[in-house]
Structure 1
Amino acid sequence: MINSPSRSPLLNNPQDEVSSEDESQENLHATIVETNTYIATSARSQNTGAKEYTRLTSVPVDRYNFAFLVFYFLGMVTMLPWNFFITAEDYWQYKFRNLSSNDSSVLTPRQIEFQPDIAICSSIPTTIFLVLNAFFSHKISLKLRMVGSMIVVLVLFTITTAFVEINTDDYQDLFFEFTLTIVFIINIFSAILNGGLFGIAGMFSSKYITAVIGGQALGGVFTALAEVISITFATDPIISALVYFLVGTAMLIAALVLYTMLSRSVFFKYHINQSHIKANTLSINADHNQTAITTVASNSRNYLQPDWKKVCSKIWMHGSGALLCMITTLSVYPAITVLVKPVHHGGKWNEVYFLPVLNYLLFNSGDYTGRIVSGWLKWPANRPKIVMLLTVLRIGFVPALLLCNITQKHPLPVLFHSDEIFIALMACFAFTNGYIANISCIYAPTVVEEHEKEMTSSLMAAFMGIGLTIGSAISFVLIQFVS
C-alpha cells in the first residue's frame, strides 16, 4: 500500500477527532492513504438503531477523468449564453432588418445597436452578481446555486429558441426589448453559475480550475464552429438559427445531467467535504448499495475567514491587468469588429463566411490558443508589472481596428484597406486577450494564503466582470462615433 507522507490516519474512528491534514491537496488526489475513514454499510442497525461502519482504506479517485471532463464541459456552458447570443449575428441582422428596403448594406439603428446593447445587458448583471458571489455565496446552498441557475438559463434559452420560428417583423422594437430582457436575466444566473463553478473547482486540485478556464475558451470556439456549420448547411437564416440554438439547448440539458451525476459521486462529495474544515459530519451516498463515507472534523481546527481587503491588497496588480485587458477587448469586440466588411464584394466567402469566420471563429480560436500557450510558457510568471505593461500596449489595437474597413461612415479614414491586415490584427488581438487574462488568473492565487484562494478566484472573476462592463460602455460610445 502507498501511504501518505505523514502516515497519519485521516480518522481514528467516527467519534474521534481528525488527524492532521495532508501536506497538499494534490497528495489527496494522487495517493492511496492509510486511513480509518469508515463506510456506513447500512443506514441503521436493526438492534441498536446506530449506523454501522466498515473501514475505508483509500481516498476516492477521479475514475476515467470523469470529474475533469465534466468541469471542462461546465466551463464551456458557463459562457454558452454570451457566445451564442453574440455569434448569431446573421439571425439578429435578419430579425431587425429594414423591412422597407431590399438594400442589406443599409443598416437599421436596431442592427447597429444590438451588439453593444447586448454587451451591456450581459456585462452589468454579470459584474454585479460575480461581486456578490465573492462575498455572499456561502449563504446559499451549492445545489441551489448550481442546479437552480442551470434550470433558469435552460428555460430562458428554450424560450429564445422558440422565438426563432415566430414572425416578429411587425413588432421589431418589442422583440428587441424582449430579447435584451432575456439576455439580462440569463446573465444574472450565468454569473451565479460561473461563480459557483469557480468556487467548487477551487476545492479540488489546480487542474480542475484549469479545466474550467480552458472550457470557457473552448466554448467560444465550439459556438463559432456551430454557427459556421449551421449557415453552411442551411442558407435560410431562420433554419440555421433554429439548428444553432437547438444545439445550445442540448448542451445545457447535458450540463445539467452531467453535473447531477458528478455531484452524486463519492469523489465529488469527499473533496467538497474536505474543504469544509470545520464541518461535523457528512454522509455520502455511493454506488448501488447506498454506502456512505462519514467524516468527522476536529474541534481543534480553526477555520480562517479571508479578509477581502487583505486579498485585494495582494492581488490588485493581477486584477488590474485582467480588468484592463477586458476593457480593451469589449470596447471593440464584437460591437466594432462586426462592422468590418471585406474589401471585395461577391462570392460566398465575402458574403457568407467572412463575418462568422474572421470575427468569431478566429477570435475565439486565438483566445483559446493564448490561454493554452500562457499555461505552457508561464511567462512573465509572477511579475504583474510586466503583464500590466503588455496590457497597456494592447490598447493600441482599439484605434487600429477602428481604422479597418468599417462600412459605416465615420470621421476616421480607412487606413487598413486590406483583409489580410484585419486578419492579422484580429489574430494578435485574440491571442493577447487569452494570454494576458489567463496568466493573471494563474498567478493571482500564488500570492495569497491557502484559505484565501477561493476568494481570490472569485475576486479575479469580479475584476474581469467589471472590465467587461466598462468595455461594453465604451463600445456603446464608439458605436455612436462610427455611426
Structure 2
Amino acid sequence: MSKEKTQNPPADRGQAVKLIIFVLGLGTLLPWNFFITASQYFNERLAPPNVTSNSSSGGTSKDYNYDSWMALLSQLPLLLFTLLNSFLYQWVRERLRVAFSLVVIFLLFALTAALVQVPMQADTFFSVTMATIWFINMCGAVLQGSLFGVVGLFPPCYSTLFMSGQGLAGIFAAFAMLFSILTKPDQSSAALGYFITPCVATLGTLLCYLLLPHLEFARFYLNRSQSDDVETTKELIGTTEKGLNNNQKHFQANGGLISEREESQERSSVLAVFKKIWLMALCVTCVFAVTLSVFPVITVQVRTVYKDNAAWNKVFTCVCCFIVFNVMDLLGRGAPSLVQWPSKESRWFPAAVFSRLVFIPLLMLCNIQGSNLTVLRHDSAFVVIMALFSFSNGYLASLCMSYAPQLVRCKDCETAGSLMTFFLVLGLAVGASFSFLLGKLVKTT
C-alpha cells in the first residue's frame, strides 16, 4: 500500500478529466449567469406595455427593481447554504449532494422555460421568479461547495480549469442573449429557447460528474483520502502488535497514546483550517464584493454616446457590459495556468486585491443615463475600464482559490475548498447589498 501511494498518478488520457472539470465549473455558474443576462426579459414581463395607461391607478406601475433583488436573493441562499455545506459536508455523501443539486436546478430551469408561455400578473410572476432564484441558488451553493471540495483533491491546475469553466458560463449566457436579440423571432420563442439551453447544459454537467469516478486518473485522486485512512489503520494495528514498548515511550513523550502517523492523518477542524487560509479567504471576499457592488447594477445603466445608431444602441449593453466582462473574466481565470504573480507569500497579493476598489468610482463616472457624475463619456473608456475590471476579477479570484488548498495538508483540501467557497459567496452577498446604495447614489446625483 505504501509503495502504491508513492507511485506517480496515471496519465489523464485524452485530457478527459481536465475537460470534465472544466464542464463542471461551467455547470455551477449557469443558473446565476442565465438569470443575470435575462434582465431585459424579466423587466419587460414585470412592466407590460399597458403600464403607461394604468400608471395613475398606482399598483401596476410599481418598480420591481429586478436587477438588485435578483442579485441579493441569489447571494443570500448561496451564503446560507455554503456555510451549511462547510460544516455538514461530512454528514451527506458528496455524490448525493451533487446529483440532487443538479437535478433540482434542471427542474427549476424547466419551470422557468415553461412560464415563458404562461400569462401571469406582474406581482405573481415576480414572486415566482424570486422564489425560483432563491431555490436554484440554494442548490447552486451546495453544488459549488461540493465541487470545489472535490477539485481541491486534484493538482492546483485543476482548480484553475474549474474557475475557467465558471468564466465560460458567463460567455455562454451572454452570447445566448446576443443571439436572441439579433435573430428577433417573436419574444416568447426567443426566451423559451434561451431557457431551454441551460436545461440541456445542466443535464450534460450531471452526466460528466457521473462519468468522473470511472476514469483512472480521477480515481487516483478521489480515492487517495480513503486509501490514507485505510493505510493509517493498518499501520497502527501493526505497530500495536509489535509490542508495547514503543507505544509507552510515545505515551511518556506526548502525554497520550497517539502515534505520529495517526496524528498526521487526522482531519483538522474547520477553525484550524481557517487559520491557515484566512488571508486568501479575505482576499476572495474583497474581489467579489467589489465586482458585484457595480456589476450589473451600475454597468447596465451605462449608455452609448452613439444614440443615433439604432443597431449599436440595441446591442451596446449586451456587448460592452456582458460579453466584454465575461470574455475578459474568462481570460483572467485562465491566466494563472501561465503565470502566477504575486505569489501566495507576497505582500503584493493582498495589495493587488484591495486596489480593485478604484473600479467602483471609475465605473460610476462613465456615461450613465440621468447621472450628473458622468466624466468618462466615450464608449471606449467604458470598454477599457470593464476589460481591466473583469480581467482582474477572474485572475485574482482564480489565484485565491488555487492558493488556498496549497496552504493546508492533503487531508484538509476539501475543508479548505468549502471554506473558500463560503467566503467567495460572502463577497458576492456583501457586494449585492452594497449595490442598492450605489444604485440609488447614481440615480440621485
Same fold (TM over 0.5): yes
CA drift of 1:210 comes to 2.6
Among residues 19, 22, 31, which one is paired with 2:2 in the alignment? 19
User: How many Å apart are 1:79 and its aligned residue?
Assistant: 0.2
Residue deviations 1:287-317, cap 9 Å, x none? xxxxxxxx99735363411122222222222
CA–CA separation in structure 1 for the residues paired with 2:127 and 2:302: 26
Match of 1:151 in 2: 103
8 Å CA contact 2:68, 2:297 repeated in 1? yes
Query: What is the rounded CA distance, in whole Å, between the counterparts of 1:19 and 1:435 in structure 2?
Result: 38
Confirm or deny that 1:142 pairs with 2:104: no
Structure 2 residue aligned with 1:422: 382
Give secondary structure in 2 for the equivalent of 1:74. Answer: helix
1:334 aligns with 2:284: no
Distance 2:355 2:157 in 1: 31
Q: What code does the residue aligned with 1:73 have?
A: V
Cα-Cα RMSD: 2.4
Question: 1:377-392 alignment to 2 at 5 Å?
Answer: 377-392=339-354
**TM-score when normalising by structure 2:** 0.86
The alignment status of 1:455 with 2:415, answered yes or no, reads yes
Stretch deviating more after TM superposition (421-430 or 308-317): 308-317
2:179 is the alignment partner of 1:229: yes
CA contact (8 A) 1:91 1:238 kept: no
Runs (5+) with no aligned partner, structure 2 = 54-59, 237-260
Tell me, yes or no, if the aligned pair for 1:325 and 1:437 is still in contact at 8 Å: yes
* Aligned equivalent of 1:85: 35
Counterpart of 1:29 in structure 2 is 9
What does 1:76-475 align with in structure 2 at a 5 Å threshold? Answer: 76-100=26-50, 110=63, 113-168=65-120, 171-265=121-215, 267-269=217-219, 271-277=221-227, 298=234, 300=236, 302=262, 303-407=265-369, 409-410=370-371, 412-475=372-435
How far apart in 1 are the matches of 2:393 and 2:61? 31
3-state DSSP of counterpart to 1:276 = helix
Paired residues of 1:70 and 1:258 also in contact (CA < 8 A)? yes
Secondary structure (helix, strand or coil) at the match of 2:234 reads coil
Contact 2:159/2:402 (8 A) holds in 1: no
**Distance in 2 separating the partners of 1:362 and 1:471:** 20
1:367 is displaced (CA, Å) by 0.7
Matches of 2:87 and 2:226 in 1, distance apart? 17
Equivalent of 1:71 in 17, 21, 30: 21
Q: What is the alpha-carbon distance in structure 1 between the residues aligned to residue 342 and residue 151 of structure 2?
A: 25
Q: 1:451 to 1:264 in 2, by over 3 A?
A: closer
CA distance in 2, matches of 1:267, 1:448: 22
Which amino acid in 1 is paired with 2:77?
P
Q: Deviations over 1:327-352 (max 9, x none)?
A: 11000001111111112224344332
Check the 8 A contact 2:149/2:416 in 1, yes or no. no
d(CA) in 2 for partners of 1:128 and 1:366?
29
Amino acid at match of 2:430: I
Partners of 1:312 and 1:109 lie apart in 2 by 45
Q: Is the 8 A contact 2:52 2:61 kept in 1?
A: no
Q: Deviations over 1:118-158 (max 9, x none)?
A: 11111111122222222211110122101111101100110
Matches of 2:434 and 2:129, distance apart in 1: 22
SS in 1 for 2:71: helix
In structure 2, relative to structure 1, the CA distance for the partners of 1:141 and 1:444 (3 Å cut) is closer
| Structure with higher helix content | 2
Query: Quick one: distance in 1 between partners of 2:295 and 2:132?
Result: 21
Count of residues paired in the alignment: 411
SS in 1 for 2:304: coil
Secondary structure, in 3 states, of the residue corresponding to 2:338?
Answer: helix
* AA in 2 matched with 1:127: L
Are 2:36 and 2:67, in contact at CA under 8 Å, matched by a contact in 1? Answer: yes
Give TM-score scaled by structure 1 length: 0.79
C-alpha change, 1:341 and 1:249, in structure 2 (3 Å) is same
Instruction: For 1:481 and 1:109, locate their aligned partners in 2 and report how far apart those are by CA, in whole Å.
Output: 20
CA distance in 1, matches of 2:434, 2:317: 22
3-state DSSP of counterpart to 2:31: helix
Counterpart Cα distance in 1 of 2:137 and 2:431:
16
Residue aligned with 1:298, SS: helix
Q: In the alignment, residue 29 of structure 1 is paired with which amino acid?
A: P
- Whether contact under 8 Å (1:78, 1:216) holds in the other structure is yes
Aligned-partner residue type, residue 71 of structure 1: I
Determine which structure has greater relative contact order: mean sequence separation of CA pairs < 8 Å that are 6+ residues apart, divided by chain length: 2
Are the equivalent residues in 1 in contact too, given 2:366–2:382 (CA < 8 A)?
A: yes
Contact 1:370 1:434 in 2 (8 A): yes
Asked whether the equivalents of residues 212 and 218 of structure 2 are also in contact (C-alpha less than 8 Å), the reply is yes
Instruction: Give, in whole Å, the separation in 1 of the partners of 2:165 and 2:437.
Output: 31
Percentage of matched positions with identical amino acids: 31
SS class of match (2:333): helix
Displacement of 1:217: 1.0
**Amino acid paired to 1:368:** L
Deviates more, 1:200-209 or 1:71-80: 200-209
Indicate conservation of the 8 Å contact 1:391/1:436, yes or no: yes
Q: What residue identity is the alignment partner of 2:365?
A: L
Greater mean deviation of Cα atoms: 267-276 or 196-205: 267-276
2:365–2:374 Cα contact (<8 Å) kept: yes
Q: What is the distance in 2 between the residues matched to 1:245 and 1:337? A: 23
- CA separation of 1:184 and 1:194: change in aligned 2, threshold 3 A: same
Of 397-406 and 144-153, deviating more is 397-406
Query: Alpha carbons of 1:124 and 1:477: their partners in 2 closer, same or farther (altered >3 Å)?
Result: same
Task: Measure the CA separation in 1 of the matches of 2:373 and 2:154.
Answer: 52
Q: For 1:345 and 1:453, locate their aligned partners in 2 and report how far apart those are by CA, in whole Å.
A: 52
